[in-house]
Amino acid sequence: MSTAETTAHAASARDVVPFRTAVRTWFAISLQTFGGPAGQIAVMQRALVKEKRWIGQQRFNHALSYCMLLPGPEAQQLAIYIRWLLNGTPGGLVAGSLFVLPGVLALLALSGLYVAFGTTTAATGLFAGLAPAVVAIVAQAVWRVGRRSLTHPALIALAVASFAALALFAVPFPLVIIGAALVAWLLAPCARPPRTPPTTARRH
């Protein structure tokens, strides 16, 4: 077997899913990622966790938590990380490129339309009408992700408290993250399901 064939065989052996199948799936995901990070994350959760079952819900939540802590666009980081898990470094590069390509093209098209017709009444009404639709998309996406992630009353209370700290009291984001991590660490033993005692064979 030649060196090229050995390298190709090793790369295919590392792929959790076929590379071409993953490319087609991520291209389809990129065409549906409207509504900002919340909508993009919801689309990935539906496609990868619920439909394809390429990654488990718990692993998806952990990856999302890590990406939220990193600077930069968390949705794109999540896409790169998940694709890296499935297909290695080439998969991560492809996912990152496909993830932003439709948005870049759409932004260029909308920018051109706005420069050409932005001052007209029809264009003003069009952009004003898009705002409620975007709010609805984001709200639906947040509900979908939260329903699958907040599976315990303590987690729901922690999410509400974090939102109140950010929105009402302007607490800095790092302090909210540190506080939430500390509270979750303290409540972790209470949130664990009770262990079932091992069954023993009945003696006759």
Q: State how far the Cα of 204 lies from the Cα of 197, in Å rounded to an integer.
A: 21
Tokens of 17: 């899913």
78: CB partners within 8 A, 6+ apart: 41, 44, 63, 64, 67
pLDDT along the chain (204 residues), means of 10: 43 73 91 82 93 93 90 91 93 91 87 82 80 84 87 89 94 92 82 53 46
Give the global pTM: 0.75
Nearest CA to 48 among 5, 86, 11? 86
Position 87 scores a pLDDT of 93
87: CB partners within 8 A, 6+ apart: 14, 15, 16, 17, 19, 22, 94
